[in-house]
A = this chain, B = another copy of it.
């Protein structure tokens, strides 16, 4: 009983062993992460089209709930760039930005996503995330990075623009280019340049000056905070907000409010597919980060329990004025590097952010949105990596097609279309390949009992025995292929008296393929040729035994291909001793 509870509520496990050392490490990590998260939460809320406080709210209760239900020691849950962009795209279709309906739709999306994740976790459907192949994820992340950066250009220029796809965004920016605010532009470009320099040049400089690497890291992570402080002071001191510089403005000073997701059927229907995609993509992002960090400390992550942890976090976001959240890469790595020992570090971060939400919001009144945009642009451009195109091209044209389609469709038609098309294309390409399987004619490697492709290796063959190794499971898309192949091969006449199908790579024979094998057996028998099988695997044999096929088979089933060779050729071939 308690075991089951402990499986679903991991805090009961690590919480009992919590001690002072862990407390100190966790507190230290929490301080660093809190400082980093304040500007990031505001910025991502803006990216999602929500007021800045939504970003803070989405980082408080969700973190605590994940600390209770999640399995990763270092994962930091909250708003992330890609999910914020997807939220903007989904909610933008059902409500006008800036309205109360928009905020309600966003938190409803979070609650739906939470329910979906929780359901997947309880049904143990974590494996579904595997259908997002590596090329599709890589392509999607790169394209999303570009989309997100493009969506922030308007804030750097101080103009208004709209759109959820690259052509829409660029077109809208082009149209409104006349309205550029020069002061905003200066702030935005300077902040962007500064943050790029912080990311690339600051740490080496500090190290050269003799700073300890750990401290240099912390200083580098505080870069965005410095940009926020300096630009806020500049706008306040020089009265720039009166000269058209867009600022964050009044943010309510409060703890996260209690909110209720909408139960409007039309809204729920419209948001279902986006909620599903956000859930799956958020889960994939989160689990990748969690597994990477866990591997470094030889810990294991339970994907199905992660679904439950993320589900609880998103439900929490839905009931406290937030929007969809997941485990973020940057924040989790910072948390890990800062020495977080347990999920309690997340809980302390939540306390820090709650204090910020209550006490610090007046201080960001004059914070220019251009600075937040600069934070986002610098963060997401590190996600953009076209090298996947080259590696995929070298390795496999099918994987290359999946990456390219995902990138292009994401940019041109938006995130949902892009990632869905990528997944569907990956599956179709796989089915296409398996429908035309690789088939090799094999012979005996001299001096061994091993059989290989006659075209690749120097092997012994017997003109009366045709041995075909089928390099694919036999199932409906390729059921007729084998029949056609064998009949074409023997149809040329010649001395073939035995056909052996070497089934070492056949993992399944489905009902359609069984029909095809039966047909092949009859046709070959009509031609005076016997059909044999060799190296049929246990699970496949078990299933064939339930049918009449093995009784009707004109030939035999051999345990190994070598047994078949010995039985069907005149005698054993000359055999060297094994080494």
Contact = CB atoms under 8 A, between A and B. Distances in A.
A355 to B, nearest CB: 39
Contacts of A511: 133-135, 391-392, 395-396, 399
Contact of A579 (B481, B537, B566): B566
A130 B538 contact: no
Interface stretch (A44-52, A256-264, A471-479): A471-479
Interface in A537-579: 537-539, 543, 546-547, 559-560, 562, 566, 572, 575, 577-579
Interface in A164-204: none
A435 interface: yes
A500 to B, nearest CB: 15
A523 B291 CA distance: 12
Contacts of A543: 395-396
A127 interface: yes
Contacts of A450: 449, 559-560, 562
A227 to B, nearest CB: 35
Contacts of A433: 508
A453 B562 contact: no
Interface in A116-145: 127, 130-136
Contacts of A352: none
Contact of A562 (B130, B478, B578): B578
A59 to B, nearest CB: 29
A162 B563 CA distance: 64
Interface stretch (A241-249, A273-281, A436-444): A436-444
B134 A515 contact: yes
A127 B507 contact: no
Contact of A560 (B133, B435, B448): B448
A480 interface: yes
Nearest to A403: B511
Interface stretch (A305-313, A361-369, A423-431): A423-431
Interface in A398-440: 398-399, 426-427, 430-431, 433-438, 440
B514 A395 contact: yes
A130 B566 contact: no
18 contacts: A127-B435, A130-B479, A131-B476, A133-B511, A300-B491, A395-B511, A396-B511, A399-B510, A399-B512, A440-B537, A440-B538, A448-B562, A471-B537, A472-B473, A562-B578, A572-B579, A575-B577, A575-B578
In the complex, the 7 A-B pairs of residues with the closest C-beta atoms, listed nearest first? A133-B476, A134-B512, A449-B449, A399-B511, A450-B560, A471-B507, A505-B505
